[in-house]
Structures are given as structure tokens and as C-alpha cells.
Structure 1
Amino acid sequence: MNSSLSISRSGLKGLQTHLDITSNNIANVNTIGFKQKNTNFYELLRNDVAGQNGPLPNGVSRGMKATQGQFNMTQGSFIAGSNPFDLAISGEGMFGIRLPDNQLAYTRDGSFAFDQNGVLRNASGNRVEMTLNVPKNNWPKGEPYVREDGQVRIGNVLVGEIPVFDDANSSQLIEVGENQWVLPQGQAAAKLANPVIKQHFLEGSNVELAESMSDMIVTQRAYSMNAKVLQATDEMMQRINEYKQ
């Protein structure tokens, strides 16, 4: 393939990847606990350009590549919740979720509720990692109070505890859908010693809408420019072929 066509093709492909990631961020601007995804850009190998005294310092780039990068784990804004187990983490940490295969996953979405069997579940129906000191059906009457450290009390009775897990390895998180992540190769995060849980609150998405929209506009313009270069290169090659004939 002609090098100009190859370079333009790699640019279109990389910019399309960035557009997909940015549009997904924008679509989840109102998703509870959503963490913005970043894009990593890489320059492909350069071809050295020979000069009279050897290779010139600036070669010809072979194009670019874009991949989904790390999640942006910055704090989202707090939104008032409507039930006692609407929980938000302030600062570091993640809630633990058991997937259907019993693998431990992690999330910042703390919209939890008990099912009819007394099991605390998230919005996807997966079981929340929680220690019950007293079975849910035997809890004393009264409003559950979730302390900042995760202890669940009714009056003076400690009925359970919701652990918060360390997010020190957030760069390794693998998305499994529904705002849930796992660590690779069965790794498990350690429990956080001093979490800060806010009861009656949920954490909103950390997507900056204005910034993401501006980024999308700039990327679309860059995509259009690459497409024009591709078209111009194709037209030049057609003219060259006509002259050869």
C-alpha cells in the first residue's frame, strides 16, 4: 500500500477509536458511578530520511495508533439518594460485587437494595460483598445507619458491615460491563483500612461534558482532514496511472 494512504488510514482508524471512546463517555454523563475512559495515542515507527551526511533527525512517521487507556478515577459529584443503602465513597476505594460466577468485581456505583431473601444487591442484580452479623430478616426495627467505615447499625446493634476495597491497582482494572471491573488473573484488592462512605448519597459520573464535547468536535475535524488527504492521495495516484498509460 502507498505510504501516504497507509498513514491516512492509520489516522482515520485511530481517530475513529477516539471518537468511539469520547461518545461513550458523553452517553454515560448521567450514569451513576461512571468513570471516564481516556485514549492512548501512539506514533508508529518512523522511516529515516537519508541526507548527505546520514539520516536526517526528523524521519517520516508511519502513522498513529489509538487504544483505550486507563479509567479516570477522579471523584464524581455527590447526588442525594432516596433509600438507606444509596451509598457513595468519598475519596479512594471501591465496593465489592460478586458476579454470577462468584468472581469478585468492583464498582463505584453504590445504588444498593435488599431483595426479598435479605441479600443486598446492586442495580444489576449482583450480590454486594457484605458481612451480615445478624440475618436481614432478624434485624431490629429502626432505620439502618451506615457509618463512614462501612459498619451498618440499627440503634446500638451492629447488624453488618460493607467493606471498601483499595483502588491502588485501578490501572489494571478490566471492564466487565454494568459499571463493574475485575482485576486480571484472579487478583483481589485489599480492604481499605479507613474508607469514607456517605449514606443517602450516590456518586455521579466524572465526565466533563463541555470538555468531552469540545474534544469530539476537534477529533471530528481531524478525521475530516485525514479523509481529505486520503482522497487527494487517491486522486494523485489515479493521475499518475493515467500518465503511465
Structure 2
Amino acid sequence: MNISGILSINKSGMNGLQNNMDNIANNIANSDTVGYKNRDTTFQELVNNQTTTQEANLISGTNLGLNTGVAVNGESVNFTQGSLQQTGSATDFAIQGQGFFGVYGQNGELLLTRDGSFKRDSTGQLVNASGNKVAVDATVPETNWPKGDLSVASDGSISIVNNGNSTSVGKLRMYLPQNNEDLVSVGNNNYTVTNENQLQVMTNASVKQGYLETSTVDLASSMTDMIATQRAYQMNAKALQSTDDMFEVINRLAD
């Protein structure tokens, strides 16, 4: 392996560590975001480059290979449930166990989220913080729901209670992907599914009204990862500087 190869390894390492640093910073920034799921960067080793006898000693006749760097393999999301925090708001909801709420994006596309901090807009429809309509199987159009207090049962059934009288108006629609690996983050704590044929409407979801799910980010662990990543980045930067110094010496000798 020549010096140019070493520079390439340093470059891939620094790029990967910078990507990991961005991911950790995003986790820390969302440590208080409702329903946010911690994300981890995964790496893979690039192809090995076999050394020659001039580059390294051979041990017991076995060729010594050096990998040509690392690459970001992807991002894994920790979909374990966060703790539930009581808010007392009638339009705050948390899912116990698996499942996602459905909301509709600006173009009518279905988005999935664990963030159940909803509200009713001026027309009476249930929407999220971004104003996107929540997926509801309404037996009574939301704009025609009677006045009263919103009550949601553990299975997502919605009723309006007024003066002791309860009127059933619909049900929260919740979804379960066959495989969480099919979920793709699209920002704002929302996901889409790569294969919607594998997405099913849940019939046994468990909802808690007046609660929100907290983030799964472990702030102490994230800070530790950030320090370790910073030190690894600094080490790669020093190695890159040393390699550049070697190039400078070689160029002087070549003159």
C-alpha cells in the first residue's frame, strides 16, 4: 500500500466519523422530542488490499491484508418503546407496545409516527403539531362532532361526552409494518414504508389518553459517544497530517 492509499483510508475514516457525529448531535437535539427514536450509525469495512513483501513482513507465510477504509453502511433506529409521561391533555396519546399513528402529509401521503401530541383545529379535525390530519376512521365527520369532552378508549375508539351522554364518533387508525426495516425516516419524526403492501391496520392496539411517549435517547450515553467520536476524528486528522508531512519530505528528496 502506498502513501496515497493511506490518505484514502484517513479520508474515509474522517468522513465516517463526521457522519456519526452528525447523527449523535441529532440524537442529542431530539432528546426531549416526543416519540423520537434513537438512531445509531453502522459502518462496514471496505475491501482488503493485500500488501507486498516489501510493505510488510510475512508471518508464517500468510499474506497480510490492510482494509482500504470504512464506509457508512446505514442508520439503525432503536424502535423500543420510550417511557410514558402523563400530560393530562385530552388530545395527547401514547401507544403502548407496537404500532404507529397515521398522519397525512401535504400531498396526502400516509406518514407514520409515534408522536401522539395532537389537537383539534378550527374545523374540528384532529391534527398534529404540523397541522397534518390524523388518520381517523370517523363514523361521524369530524367537522360535525358534537360539543363536549373528547374521550378515547384503550382500543382507540373515540367518543364525545357531554352532560353524561357519550356519543361514538370514530376510532383512531393505527398501523403496524411487518418489518421495521421497511420504515424510512422522512423528517419531523415521521416515517414512510417502502412496501405498503406489508402495512396493516392494527385491531389490537393499546392507547393511553393524556400521555405522551418520551424519546429513547440516552443523553449520558450519547455524550460519551460524542467524546469518543471526537477523539477518533482527531486521531485520524493527526494521521492525515503525518502522511502529508511524509509527502512533503518525499517531494523535497525528489527535487
The verdict on a shared fold, with TM-score over 0.5 as the criterion, is yes
TM-score scaled to structure 1, two decimals? 0.92
Q: Tell me by how many angstroms 1:187 deviates.
A: 5.0
Partner of 1:206: 216
Residues 77-86 or 16-25, more deviating = 77-86
Q: Does 1:30 align with 2:29?
A: no
Residue 226 of structure 1 aligns to a residue whose secondary structure is: helix
Residues 104-113 or 72-81, more deviating = 72-81
- Residue 120 of structure 1 aligns to which amino acid in structure 2? L
Structure 1 residue ranges without an equivalent (≥5): none
Partner of 2:76: 70
Partner of 1:13: 15
- Residue 43 of structure 1 aligns to which amino acid in structure 2? E
In the alignment, is the contact (CA less than 8 A) between 1:37 and 1:68 conserved in 2? no
Structure 2 Cα separation of the partners of residues 228 and 211 of structure 1: 26
Structure 2 Cα separation of the partners of residues 18 and 53 of structure 1: 35
Q: Tell me by how many angstroms 1:69 deviates.
A: 1.3
Q: Does 1:3 align with 2:5?
A: yes
Q: Tell me by how many angstroms 1:188 deviates.
A: 6.3
- Residue 86 of structure 1 aligns to which amino acid in structure 2? D
**Which residue of the other structure, out of 209, 223, 228, is the alignment partner of 2:238?**
228
Q: Tell me by how many angstroms 1:193 deviates.
A: 2.5
How many residues are matched?
245
- Residue 97 of structure 1 aligns to which amino acid in structure 2? V
Q: Does 1:105 align with 2:111?
A: yes
Q: Does 1:133 align with 2:139?
A: yes
Structure 2 residue ranges without an equivalent (≥5): none
Structure 2 Cα separation of the partners of residues 115 and 55 of structure 1: 74
Residue 234 of structure 2 aligns to a residue whose secondary structure is: helix
Residues 40-49 or 76-85, more deviating = 76-85
Residues 192-201 or 127-136, more deviating = 127-136
- Residue 225 of structure 1 aligns to which amino acid in structure 2? M
Q: Does 1:88 align with 2:82?
A: no
Q: Tell me by how many angstroms 1:145 deviates.
A: 1.7
Tell me the C-alpha RMSD between the 2 structures.
2.0
Structure 1 Cα separation of the partners of residues 99 and 4 of structure 2: 50
Q: Tell me by how many angstroms 1:140 deviates.
A: 4.4
Structure 1 Cα separation of the partners of residues 186 and 197 of structure 2: 15
Residue 207 of structure 1 aligns to a residue whose secondary structure is: coil
Distance 1:188 1:118, change over 3 A: farther
Q: Tell me by how many angstroms 1:244 deviates.
A: 1.7
In the alignment, is the contact (CA less than 8 A) between 1:17 and 1:67 conserved in 2? no
Q: Within 5 Å, which residues of 2 pair with 1:31-70?
A: 31-50=33-52, 56=62, 58-70=64-76
In the alignment, is the contact (CA less than 8 A) between 2:182 and 2:195 conserved in 1? no
Residue 215 of structure 1 aligns to a residue whose secondary structure is: helix
In the alignment, is the contact (CA less than 8 A) between 1:90 and 1:197 conserved in 2? yes
Structure 1 Cα separation of the partners of residues 210 and 95 of structure 2: 11
- Residue 178 of structure 2 aligns to which amino acid in structure 1? A
Distance 1:33 1:219, change over 3 A: same
In the alignment, is the contact (CA less than 8 A) between 2:7 and 2:240 conserved in 1? yes
Q: Tell me by how many angstroms 1:134 deviates.
A: 2.1
TM-score scaled to structure 2, two decimals? 0.89
